[in-house]
Amino acid sequence: MAEYLDVPVAPSVSFHEALAPSEAKAELDSGLEAELTKQSFAEPADHAAVFEARPIGVAAGSELTAERSPISQDTLDVALDFDELQTFETVDTQFRHLGVTFANAIALVPSNPAFPPHSGQRVLMGCPKGGWLEATFDQPVQRVSGHITSSRPTVMAAFDEHNRPVAQTQTPAANLAGSGSSQAPNQEMTLTARRISRVTFYTFDGQLTLGAFSFAQSERRAS
């Protein structure tokens, strides 16, 4: 099984403070070329497993209760197009007009083939803090999906407007392309609950990319 370093595509933490875009790209590409040589990389599976929300413990002595109500009929699916973004662009309010903002995210065209995009060319990656990113909705939504590639198992958690956990799921293993993992890259993780105001993706001591992101919002908000 091929091995990969824990920082496969991320620029350094000081990226936004010290590195010009050209310098950041040179540093990124050099690190990636050193990691992966002469590998054959698997294509993303057309029928990758979907990890649905399930009640699990969230802290010692407490238990998460997922609100698993059906999606209302008056909802509209919204899918984001990451190819509208510029490479190395900090991603925060670009999709606010669609009802969502991001934190700790940048847009990348991955030069590391272990982290392939889901469609198009660009992905989101946690930066400057590696292995974590967050999406916040301006109004609660009922379903959120993300396609994740990560070097460690990833936890997706959802919270309501009072910051209470409402659903959580986790991938069983890392899913880098070409790593021999039983999990294909760009695994779809989906959470369903009555009032999701915020979701986080977190990979402990690793890196992750978000290849696609969608959610179900009220048609009243969409109009």
Tens digit of each residue's pLDDT (9 = 90 or more) over 165-187:
999 999 999 999 999 999 999 99
Type of residue found at 48: A
- Note whether residue 95 is domain-resident: yes
Is there a domain that residue 142 lies in? yes
Confirm whether 8 is domain-assigned.
no
pLDDT tens for 6-42 read 434 444 443 334 333 343 343 334 343 333 333 332 3
180 part of a folded domain: yes
Instruction: Say how far apart CA 83 and CA 107 lie, in whole Å.
Output: 9
For 69-127, the pLDDT digits (tens) are: 445 556 789 999 999 999 999 999 999 999 999 999 999 999 999 999 998 899 999 99
Cα–Cα distance for residue pair 176/190, rounded to 1 Å:
19
pLDDT score, position 72: 53
Q: Does a structural domain hold residue 211?
A: yes
> What is the pLDDT at residue 122?
96
Digit-coded pLDDT (tens) for 116-158: 999 889 999 999 999 999 999 999 999 999 999 999 999 999 9
Structure tokens at 163: 């910051």
Strand partners, 77: 216
Q: Is residue 4 part of a domain?
A: no
DSSP string, 163-178: S-EEEEEE-SS---TT
Cα→Cα distances 200→1, 79, 151, 153, 167, Å: 29, 17, 17, 14, 11
pLDDT for position 55: 37
CATH of the domain at 100: 2.60.120
DSSP state of 133: E
Residue-number span of the structural domain to which 152 is assigned:
15-222
Best-predicted range by mean pLDDT among 48-57, 62-71, 160-169?
Answer: 160-169
The tally of domains found in the chain comes to 1
Tell me whether residue 196 is in a domain.
yes
Distance from chain centroid for Cα 9: 14
Is 1 part of any domain? no
